[in-house]
Amino acid sequence: MTTLTNVLDRLTNAGELYEVLPDKALRCTACGHRCLIRPGKRGICQVRFNQDGELRVPWGYVGVLQADPIEKKPFSHVFPGSTALTFGMLGCDFHCGYCQNWLTSQATRDPASDAALNLVREISPQQMVAAARRAHADVIVSSYNEPLITSEWAVAIFKEARAAGLMCAYVSNGNGTPEVLEYIRPYISAYKVDLKSMQEKNYRALGGVLKNVLATIQLAHDLGLWVEVVTLIVPGFNDSNEELWEAARFLCSVSADIPWHVTAFHKDYRMTNPENTSAETLMRAADIGREAGLHFVYAGNLPGRVDEYESTFCSNCQKPLVRRNGYVVSAYAITGQGTCPSCGVKIPGRWPEDPKSVKLYGAGIPLPVR
């Protein structure tokens, strides 16, 4: 009988992110759990396992492959208006009750996700790059499940992608280790981290540890990766002023230039009790981020309802630079040198060298004025 686990166990390769221990035991270093995996056992993610002293890791397939606007990731300071070919595998090291991608992320953990077997598609790194070309993508992104636990496969793809002139990025829960960040650093340019809460008890409920995520944000920034951070605002879970201030102040302590995206929760998977996040709550969170000193704060998932918090402004002269409505960019004014055309200050991020290459929709709509 073909089961999801049987298929995924076949689609594996020898891993690289681990330490060898006595008696054929292994210590996986792909995520902050640092699982001790004995022969015949699996890590918390369920997709990395010890086969007679060899770590087997996911390889050679995708569970999701989709061309998205890069604003959907969300990245607001990486090639605005570009297309990102986004791929995901199956499995995760967290078990968030509100996961929108639970069918892929909770595969092998939740029996309801066994239908993900129908999503598995074998593919090669070369075919991934060809798919990116067909989609006219400038960026390849690992997302939809937790990319840290499938880093060996991502790096195999990214090597081909970088050679073809494509940018590469991660969209991650941030439960990293120094080992995995050093491993992926040569191949990725941008790293989006979910900062889900500033309370340890909340992280424990989701299957994580707060300090690991905070350390990942700091280290990714120190390593020179372009970091953007997202906090999904869940009513009654992480939406208090105190917690929002704490998150914003932490990000400022790393760099005031880190873009902070506060996004709207909607009822999904196993979390259907809280009300959906209102535009007023998002704007309150965004206001706190700005007051805390962050230069770039964005409110997402409620297009057209969050005033100027969808667009990018110069942190020095406050001139509008990028106009957005949802995932659509309608005006772009950053120079090819990545500077504000009005005052000349450098705008942090990864910008196209040719501003005219930015795909605009609804052009002619005036930029908002702050």
Is the same domain home to 213 and 238? yes
Q: What is the pLDDT of residue 367?
A: 42
Asked if 67 contacts 135 with a C-beta cutoff of 8 angstroms, the reply is: yes
Count the domains in the chain: 3
Q: Could you read off the pLDDT of 53-107 as tens digits, one per residue?
A: 999 999 999 999 999 999 999 999 999 999 999 999 999 999 998 888 888 888 8
Average pLDDT, the chain: 94
- In the chain, which residues have pLDDT < 70? 1, 362-370
Is the same domain home to 20 and 95? no
Using CA atoms, how far apart are residues 164 and 130, in angstroms rounded to an integer? 10
Is the same domain home to 291 and 324? no
Is the same domain home to 187 and 98? yes
Is the same domain home to 38 and 71? no
Using CA atoms, how far apart are residues 86 and 88, in angstroms rounded to an integer? 7
Is the same domain home to 142 and 96? yes
* pTM summary value: 0.95
* Range(s) of the domain holding residue 17: 4-58
Is the same domain home to 250 and 111? yes
What CATH number does the domain containing 223 carry? 3.20.20.70
Is the same domain home to 46 and 164? no
Q: What is the pLDDT of residue 102?
A: 86
Is the same domain home to 201 and 213? yes
Is the same domain home to 282 and 349? no
**Angular region, 330: left φ>0, alpha ψ -120 to 50, beta rest:** alpha
Contacts for 137 with CB less than 8 Å, ≥ 6 apart: 67, 82, 83, 84, 85, 166
Q: What is the pLDDT of residue 362?
A: 59
Is the same domain home to 54 and 75? no
Q: What is the pLDDT of residue 113?
A: 83
Is the same domain home to 67 and 151? yes
Q: What is the pLDDT of residue 103?
A: 87
Structure tokens at 307: 């005033």
